[in-house]
Amino acid sequence: MTRVFSIAARAALLLCVVAPVVAQHTAWYSRTDAPREWSRELGRRWMSCLDDARVLSEVSIPGTHDTGTRNGGGLGMAQCQSWTLRDQLEAGIRWVDIRCRHDRDAFRIFHGPVDQKLSFDADVRDVVLDFLEDNPTETVVMVVKCEGRGRNSRSFAATLDSYLRPEAERFYTKTAVPKLGAVRGKVVLFDRTPKRGRDGKTYGIPWSVPRRQDAFNLAKISIRQKLDRIEDHFRTAIDGASSTWFVNHTSAANTDARALLEPPRAVAARINPRVFELVRELGRRRIGTVVMDFPGEQLIHAIIAANPGVPVQPAHEVALYASPGFAADSLWLEVGEYSQLESVADAEAGSSWADEIESVRVPAGLRGTAWSDPGFAGERFGPFLGPVELERVAGAENWESLKVDRPGTHDRSR
């Protein structure tokens, strides 16, 4: 990662061609400051639906890579997430990747040389424990990794121990993969602690235990090859022994000059849509832990829904299709109490088919209304009570606006 940042000074002129990113929600990719309330409601306690006897290796778990990295360092190359740690947990994330610079016998959260302005105790440990206090049915898997050193009077392990000791009973530091019932309300640690200064102590499940896919360097592999490896690892997890913990890193990064034009945010925008499709295609089968950059709400919930026993929530999804007849690529609009799209044809800026949304499916429990012009103007169609299928949204009838709500809520339609 250090090499990537060294390129910045020589290539800064390229920045003028990088378009600003507009905050918006997508099914698979988060560019917003926080998840929405419906996502929090689904994500806070999803583990409560799982049996106590379920071994964690048997659970499909959504996770984030470089969990604490919201500061991109000015060029965006160090940012891997849009949401705070608490918001990630509320949305359903249960695997967190914490990178700590060890300096002056304390941990600060860094990504490469970029300080994330977060401390390990107040901004990581206490946030996770507070979440578990509020949601005791859950467990959070945490990986703590050294991300550089300063001047210290003790080892990394000794400093980690000083943070764990006051709340020792709330951290699982044994080497065996536990059953969920044994670690509800606790943090399960994976041990990536440097060997020096450990004094024979263990700090969780050895990092050699999980079977991992982490081909991250896009200077060596293409996006297509990365996606192939992600899919292969999913299918291996489905067929693999339930006792094997599969960890699939969907995150990737350019480690050459391309990082300025395609930082982690742009890479995730290319990878996450296919990951979302794969998870949905594979159905309710164990796919392992999925470690992501910038995961969107519905991608997180698709992974959660891969677990048998966790309720699927179709009433939160409206499907938009690129062609009449409910064919071709689909976009899923997540609906809470009320949601709307202006210019349906421009619902997903950046999608190759953004101007071709021509079919909409509204599920049972929701109500849809369409208009012929942007801004909810022109001829009105509906309301249509789900389940219903709306065709030619942006075609012959030129439906350009769509509102979806729940019957019985306040009707803000014109």
- Domain for residue 361, yes or no? yes
Task: Answer yes or no: do 277 and 342 share one domain.
Answer: no
- Domain for residue 157, yes or no? yes
Task: Answer yes or no: do 319 and 198 share one domain.
Answer: no
Which CATH number characterizes residue 276's domain?
A: 3.20.20.190
Residue type, 391: E
- Domain for residue 412, yes or no? no
Task: Answer yes or no: do 64 and 118 share one domain.
Answer: yes
Task: Answer yes or no: do 355 and 294 share one domain.
Answer: no
Instruction: Dump strand ranges (E) for 216-344.
Output: 246-249, 289-292, 317-323, 327-334, 338-342
Q: Which of 261, 277, 305 is the last residue of a domain?
A: 305
Task: Answer yes or no: do 77 and 223 share one domain.
Answer: yes
Phi, psi of 95 (to 5 degrees): -130, 125
Q: Which of 256, 282, 305 is the last residue of a domain?
A: 305
Which CATH number characterizes residue 327's domain?
A: 2.60.20.10
SS3 250: coil
- Domain for residue 414, yes or no? no
Contact of 364 with 335, CB cutoff 8 Å: no
CA distances in angstroms from 20 to 29, 31, 267, 342, listed in the order given: 16, 12, 15, 21
Task: Answer yes or no: do 388 and 368 share one domain.
Answer: yes
**Tens digits of pLDDT across the chain (414 residues):** 443 333 333 333 223 223 233 334 455 667 678 888 778 888 999 999 999 999 999 999 999 999 999 887 777 788 999 999 999 999 999 999 999 999 999 999 999 999 999 999 999 999 999 999 999 999 999 999 999 999 999 999 999 999 999 999 999 999 999 999 999 999 999 999 998 888 888 999 999 999 999 999 999 999 999 999 999 999 999 999 999 999 999 999 888 877 777 889 999 999 999 999 899 889 899 999 999 999 998 899 889 999 988 876 444 456 666 566 665 555 555 554 344 554 454 444 333 334 455 677 776 667 777 777 777 778 887 777 776 776 665 543 556 667 776 665 444 333
Q: Which of 305, 329, 346 is the last residue of a domain?
A: 305
Task: Answer yes or no: do 237 and 322 share one domain.
Answer: no
Look at the chain and count its residues.
414
- Domain for residue 17, yes or no? no
Which bin fits 90, alpha (ψ -120 to 50), beta or left (φ > 0)?
Answer: alpha
- Domain for residue 6, yes or no? yes
Task: Answer yes or no: do 28 and 132 share one domain.
Answer: yes
- Concatenated DSSP letters for 137-180? T--EEEEEEEEEE---SS-HHHHHHHHHGGGGGGEE--SSPPBH
CA gap 84, 73 in Å, rounded: 16
Contact of 338 with 412, CB cutoff 8 Å: yes
Task: Answer yes or no: do 288 and 347 share one domain.
Answer: no
- Domain for residue 28, yes or no? yes
- Domain for residue 16, yes or no? no
Task: Answer yes or no: do 169 and 290 share one domain.
Answer: yes
Number of domains the chain is built from: 2
Q: pTM, whole model, 2 decimals?
A: 0.75
- Domain holding 397, by residue range, is 314-405
Task: Answer yes or no: do 295 and 180 share one domain.
Answer: yes
Task: Answer yes or no: do 328 and 299 share one domain.
Answer: no
